[in-house]
């Protein structure tokens, strides 16, 4: 029996998390949503949730940015699949994003999101 691949979703806006959870579910994935970078890092380090990819907003409010969150996760697990979401920070992706990451510009459709996650995970970068 194959379980759905779990994606760690980090966004400080509950409505966006809900939209992303539905999009991932429709695409055959499972979302593990958190609302801050601290919870994301502890969830990731803990490993309890078994997440296989990171989907993070770039602007996470008061804490560190999604750019920094992805760098910290990559220090723990090199090559961990990362997808960034942003409406304003797209030009910074080349200089701030981690290697092999994907950028989704808001607004995007659920189908675009599911396709991006599938494409990223099909590249062979899947850890584990």
Instruction: State the pLDDT at residue 2.
Output: 56
Which of 60, 9, 3, 70 is closest to 34 using CA atoms? Answer: 9
Instruction: State the pLDDT at residue 24.
Output: 96
Instruction: State the pLDDT at residue 123.
Output: 55
Q: What is the overall mean pLDDT for the chain?
A: 90
Low-confidence ranges of the chain (pLDDT < 50): 1, 124-128
Which of 55, 52, 65, 75 is closest to 3 using CA atoms? Answer: 52
pTM above 0.85, yes or no: yes
C-alpha count within 13 angstroms, C-beta hemisphere, residue 41: 16
Instruction: State the pLDDT at residue 42.
Output: 94
Rg (CA), the chain: 13
Q: What are phi and psi of 73, to 5 degrees?
A: -65, -40
């Amino acid at each position: 029996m194959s379980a759905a691949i779990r994606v760690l979703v980090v966004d400080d806006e509950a409505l966006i998390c809900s939209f992303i959870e539905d999009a991932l579910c429709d695409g055959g994935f499972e979302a593990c949503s958190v609302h801050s970078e601290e919870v994301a890092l502890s969830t990731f380090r803990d490993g309890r949730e078994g997440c296989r990819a990171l989907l993070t907003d770039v602007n996470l409010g008061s804490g560190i940015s999604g750019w920094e969150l992805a760098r910290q996760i990559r220090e723990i697990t090199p090559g961990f699949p990362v997808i960034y979401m942003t409406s304003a920070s797209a030009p910074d992706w080349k200089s701030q994003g981690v290697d092999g990451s994907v950028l989704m510009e808001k607004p995007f459709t659920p189908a675009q999101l599911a396709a991006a996650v599938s494409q990223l995970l099909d590249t062979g970068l899947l850890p584990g």
